[in-house]
Amino acid sequence: MVGIRGATSIEKNEKSHIIKRSTELYNEIIKNNHIKDIIAILASVTPDITAYNPITAIREEFDLKDIPLMTLQEAMFEESHEGIIRLLILCESETKNFVFLHKAKKLREDLFP
């Protein structure tokens, strides 16, 4: 089993925007990996994301009825980014390619300049 991470950002705390960015992130993770079986998906959101649950969008868009899904709120620290949705897909996979989209790309740049 491996954990495949990904993150994206939103510019507006609006349901349609959260759905768009959440499903885009999940789709990109799936496209960039050879996932055989998904065990569970964890999502986290920064406290400013309140209009809609990203994991609900993913469950409904991709019909993930039999996979355990959970959303948690991120802890905030000095210099934490706002408007960030993170996914951790626990799965059986031959690959482990992380995906960072939009302003969340900066999260990787901050860690690995």
What is the token pair recorded at 43? 């999502």
Number of H helices, E strands in the chain: 3, 5
Spell out the domain ranges in the chain: 2-111
- The pLDDT tens digits for 36-94 are 999 999 999 999 999 999 999 999 999 999 999 999 999 888 888 899 999 999 999 99
Q: Is residue 112 over pLDDT 60?
A: no
pLDDT at 110: 55
* CATH architecture for segment(s) 2-111: 2-Layer Sandwich (3.30)
pTM across the whole model: 0.91
What is d(CA 59, CA 39) in angstroms, rounded to the nearest whole number? Answer: 14
Residue whose structure tokens are 């000095």? 78
What is the token pair recorded at 73? 């709120």
Average pLDDT, stretch 24-39?
97
